[in-house]
Amino acid sequence: MSDAPAPAAPPAEPAREARAIRVAILGNPNTGKTTLFNRLCGVRHKTSNFPGTTQEARVGFPRALPEGSELIDLPGIYSLELDQSEAAICRDVLAGQLAPRGEAVEAPDVVLVVTDATNMPRNLMLVGEAVRRCLPTVIAINMVDASRRKGIHADEGVLVRSLGVEAVPCSARTGEGFDALLAALTRARIPTESPPPSEDGLALWADDLYARMAAGYDQPRPDTFTDRLDRAFTHPLLGLGAFVAVMAGLFFVIFSLAAYPMGWIESIFSHLGGLVGAVLPPGAIHDLIADGVVAGIGATVVFLPQICLLFFLISLLEDTGYLARAAFVMDRVLRPFGLNGHAFVPLLSSHACALPGIIAARAVPDRRDRLATILTAPFMSCTARIPVYVLLTVLLFRDSPLMQAVAFTACYALGIAAGLLSALVARRTILRGPSRPMALELPSYRLPSVRTALFAAWDRGLVFLKKAGTIILAISIVLWWLGAYPGTEPPPEAVEIRERAEAAGADADALLAEADAIESRHATRRSFLGRMGETAEPVFRPLGYDRQLTVGVLASFAAREVFVATMAIQIAGRDDVEESGVFEAVATATRDDGRTPIFTRATCWSLLVYYVLAMQCLPTLAVTAKESGHWKWALLQLGWMWGLAYASALIVFQSLRASGVA
């Protein structure tokens, strides 16, 4: 960081035996703590939470430190003394009163304060607060490469001499200075000086310290690059236009790129199901493994590419500094609805999957704002709804891809509108109170770190697999059982076709397939799920749904994506609607009267509106309960969304019928 000759290091202590150390990483947001943590630990880390909170806790195991050493990544905070949960967590960890779940509750051996070399004056306030804790401390002066480019110079030797601790210039992005940093961590010492106890005293102390660090150097160059970009990205009109363009590009990349790995995953699990069929003898175990377990795991893993890609791109955008500008632009749009700019990333993430979106709501500082964001997130059209949207828009507009796209887009718009209006209602009733005014740092623009983005995608993907995977797998097994039992005798029609197939000899394949389909439909109707559909059908009849559609809605109550396969099984006896002939069978299927199509135009519109608005995702409910702190919020979310969906679908269907639309 400085151009002066290296200052004298503190007097060397006698060599100590290398012992495992616990290092707590403290720092302001946007100082590169995450990049530094990732560079030190790589994939050797685990994610849990701090007990009694929803705050994520990452614990890393750096290879370059003595065996058994740990790094605890504390939440980014501007001050240890703020009345915020993140600051309280940092205080408690430094005081030895809190530790990540599964770790021993004791004070860290070393506090590593990560500072931003391009913004030292403000960072020195947190350094002062950390120093007051009288724990062995090391200061990492990160982003020295950026500070050199900006012409920002300061003498870190002043910190070393003033505080009696090591201050190491480094760059987490390039690895510069990391050898020195690791060595400093193993010989950290307790600071010899502490700032005055008052807030004003701390501020004067920090100012004086920086003045001495910067003495003799030229004033830094003004950041005209950030200035010029901000004039565009924060402009009321240009900024909104840029935001729309960036988001459109983001979603285009996600939906186009992720389609490839999603196709590969579907193919792999389809082959896996076939392999199970070939290896296991027919029976309950075979059906459980093939239709329950394999299908259930496949149903979760298939969403992984979109979730990982979304978080990779969000991390890149965040690292460039643009995401803060997007939150600034969106604040004006969201505030009239009782939300604020911080809600933007959770709501954006929810378009891939509400689970990581709801978890991302932890970044919303105010509790009421956070709850409103959590309650709103599932309204954003997630990827699980896409198969339903695709089926229904194609049924509605068979010959017009343009109208299909318009209807598809309208579904997304309806979800966003319903979410915002629901947030407004919540903020005027059960979450009444002023919204926290915006005060958000806009970091300098910089090139993003692909490595950090890859780690972010990996972490979020693992969270999704663990939280959603277990629940979706359990749901798939339950649904399989409900759809497979109780077993029934094959209907006479199928028996007769099998007898004809026996006599047909070599031409039996088509007859056997027909018999399989008839038996499958019969078994589904007679199953527990089928009987539930018959019982519940009167509830859904006003929406235009018959017995079969009711079964589809009930089956997809736990996971939306199951609707299409359930309808395909009931109608065509096969669960892949893209298989030859299955889509036509679904499109032309009739209700129990043998005449009325299942998918009339009015019914299709009713179903579209229902699936846009309804809460049909058990994993989302579970995460809502956890993140909000109480099941009452999850139940409220379920009741509100289901009620809104039912009422809206009812109005749509009845209005269309009244206006003569079949």
Partner 1 sequence: MQPEAPASVTLASLLPGQSGLVRDTDALSPGDAAYLRALGIRPRSRVRLCRQGGPCIVEVGCGCGGPCCRVALSRHLAMHVIVEPMPA
How far apart CA 282 and CA 191 sit, in angstroms, is: 71
Q: Which of 571, 538, 532, 572 is nearest to 555 (CA)?
A: 532
C-beta separation of 303 from 383 below 8 A: yes
Q: Beta strands 56-60 and 45-49: pairing type?
A: antiparallel
Query: Closer to partner 1 at the Cβ: 325 or 521?
Result: 325
- CA-CA distance, 465 to 605, in Å (whole number)? 33
Nearer to partner 1, 189 or 436 (CB): 436
- Would you call 169 helix, strand, or coil by DSSP? strand
The smaller minimum CB distance to partner 1, of residues 328 and 605, is found at 328
Mapping DSSP to helix (H, G, I), strand (E, B) and coil, where does residue 628 land?
Answer: helix
Using CA atoms, how far apart are residues 370 and 33, in angstroms rounded to an integer? Answer: 24
Q: Of 10 and 121, which CB lies nearer to partner 1 in the complex structure?
A: 121
In terms of Cα–Cα distance, which of 167, 116, 112 is closest to 142? 116
Q: What single-letter amino acid sits at 164?
A: G
Shortest reach from residue 39's CB to partner 1, in Å: 24
| For partner 1, the closer CB: 441 or 579 | 441
State in angstroms the smallest separation of the CB of 599 from partner 1.
48
Residue-wise DSSP of 326-369: HHHHHHHHHGGGT--GGGHHHHHHTTT-HHHHHHHGGG--SHHH
Please say whether the beta carbons of 35 and 451 come within 8 A.
yes
Q: Closest approach of Cβ 147 to partner 1, in Å?
A: 8
Taking the complex as a whole, the smallest distance from the CB of residue 358 to partner 1 amounts, in Å, to 25
Longest dimension (CA), the chain: 101
Output 421 or 438, the one with its CB closest to partner 1: 438
For residues 85 and 629, is the Cβ–Cβ distance under 8 A?
A: no
Nearer to partner 1, 258 or 329 (CB): 329
Q: Given the complex with partner 1, which of 373 and 556 has the nearer CB atom?
A: 373
Question: Cβ of residue 37: shortest distance to partner 1, in angstroms?
Answer: 22
Q: Are 355 and 467 in contact (CB under 8 A)?
A: yes
CA distance 524 to 592: 14
The least CB distance from residue 436 to partner 1, in Å, is 9
Q: What is the spatial order of strands in the sheet that 166-169 belongs to?
A: 45-49, 56-60, 70-73, 22-27, 110-116, 137-142, 166-169
Compare residues 118 and 350 and give the one whose CB is closer to partner 1: 118
Nearer to partner 1, 207 or 578 (CB): 207
Least spacing, CB of residue 567 vs partner 1, in Å: 48
CA distance 471 to 479: 12
What letter does residue 506 receive in the DSSP assignment? G
State the minimum distance, in angstroms, from the CB of residue 201 to partner 1: 12
CB 320 to partner 1: min, Å: 14
Q: Which two tokens stand for residue 269?
A: 């699990």
Interface with partner 1 by CB under 8 A: which residues? Answer: 78-79, 81-83, 118-122, 125, 150, 152, 199-200, 203, 206-207, 210-211, 214, 219-220, 223, 226-227, 230, 234, 236, 324, 327-328, 331-332, 341, 437-444
DSSP letter assigned to residue 411: H
Report the nearest approach of partner 1 to the CB of residue 81 (Å). Answer: 7
